[in-house]
Amino acid sequence: MEWSELKAKAKERFNGACRLCPVCNGVACAGEVPGMGGVGTGMGFRNNVSALADIKLNLRTVHRVNAPIMSTALFGQEMSMPVLAAAVGGTAMNMKCTMSEAEYSAAVITGSVQAGVLGMTGDGPNPEVFQGGLSAIKAEQGKGIAIIKPRESERIVLLANEAAQAGAVAFGIDIDAAALINMTRAGQPVGPKSFIELEYIKRNTQIPFIVKGIMTVDDALACAEAGVDAIVVSNHGGRALDHTPGTAEVLPAIARAVQGRLVVMVDGGVRSGVDVLKMLALGAEFVLVGRPVIAGAVGGGAEGVKMVMDRLAAELRAAMVLTGANDVRSVSSRVIYPPAW
């Protein structure tokens, strides 16, 4: 499939939900939640993109980095690069597309596996979202991560253990969905989690536990203390709380505080391999990509997701060569101009 075909198909299938803007920055779709935008004024989404755009890179070419090491491993799972497809749910509500939840998850999980990376699946009031995700993970021998809404802790444990049964590499909770009204309206309450609850979830589950939606050093430290295995520095793509800073702004301090105690991941506004390199240089070990993967899946199914991932890999490789970064596992802040931290 050519990029032009993928884009044309995505435009048709999105049915107006996503305009496929030349720069996916949350301006045209501000306030469109449900939809593809950021909540309220859309500033959380826009801040993600602008925070990354504000970071400059040092172009360095007097070195011997010709074939940088891109591969890494997450919880024992080999990956071709430190990139994951972010969790997404609500195909009908958010994307107005005719893809079922199961079809969407299958496209993301299989396309990610074909690109040598991992994908995440989402959750929602409709059980089809979570179950469709689990089926997709199962169909790929467990090569995926199931993200559960911050439901009652006993329910989280139950669903996490279902994910473990499906062979999932890990499970997580998108803790920033703590005020999601459609869950509560559907009689499936969500809310913030106390330290004790995080410990409870960790104690009663077997596979690695990820907390997605961390934006402060204090919350990151609490996760580390509670035994959480990984955090995702994330504001849910600007869809939870309006006027949050860009994730690239808060990442360095968070990474500094918890590095070595748990795995640090990040998402928000990542649109290219250059953005991936910036996040690695700011302290992330893994980078999640949301909306570009959605466009790939809607436009081209698994093949479309693989195309998005392959493009990110090619861009990341070029960016590493041009900054002299030899290994994705040890990208130095020296690639940033001026050094950020």
Ligand X SMILES: Cc1cc2nc3c(=O)[nH]c(=O)nc-3n(C[C@H](O)[C@H](O)[C@H](O)COP(=O)(O)O)c2cc1C
CB neighbours of 39 closer than 8 A, spacing ≥ 6?
Answer: 31, 33, 238, 239, 240, 241, 242
x/- binding map, residues 197-226, to ligand X, per CB under 6 A? ---------------x--------------
- Up-side HSE of residue 86: CA atoms within 13 Å toward CB? 26
Out of 51, 70, 79, 86, the residue judged to bind ligand X by CB under 6 A:
86
- Contact between 160 and 207 under an 8 Å Cβ cutoff? The reply is yes
How far apart, in whole angstroms, are the C-alpha atoms of residue 284 and residue 182?
Answer: 31
Q: What string marks each residue from 107 to 126 as x (binds ligand X by CB under 6 A) or -?
A: ---------------xxx--
Nearer to ligand X, 166 or 232 (CB): 232
Q: Decide whether 42 or 122 has the Cβ nearer to ligand X.
A: 122
232-291 binders of ligand X (CB under 6 A) = 234, 236-237, 239, 267-270, 289-291
30 binds ligand X (CB under 6 A): no
Binding segment (CB under 6 A) for ligand X, from list 8-16, 69-77, 189-197, 229-237: 229-237
CB of residue 335 vs ligand X: minimum separation in angstroms?
A: 21
Q: Left if phi > 0, otherwise alpha if psi is -120 to 50, otherwise beta: which for 40?
A: left
Mark the segment that binds ligand X (CB under 6 A) among 89-97, 161-169, 221-229, 300-308. 89-97
* Cβ proximity to ligand X, 45 vs 326, nearer residue: 45
Strands 56-57 and 336-337: antiparallel
Rounded CA Rg of the chain: 18
Task: Tally the C-alpha atoms within 13 A of residue 215's C-alpha that lie toward its C-beta.
Answer: 20
Given candidates 101, 140, 174, 249, which one binds ligand X under the rule CB under 6 A?
174
Query: The tokens 């609850």 sit on which residue?
Result: 197
Residue found under tokens 């444990």: 157
CA 129, CA 159: separation in Å to the nearest integer?
A: 12
Question: Footprint of ligand X on this chain (CB under 6 A)?
Answer: 36, 48, 86-90, 94, 122-124, 147, 174, 212, 234, 236-237, 239, 267-270, 289-291
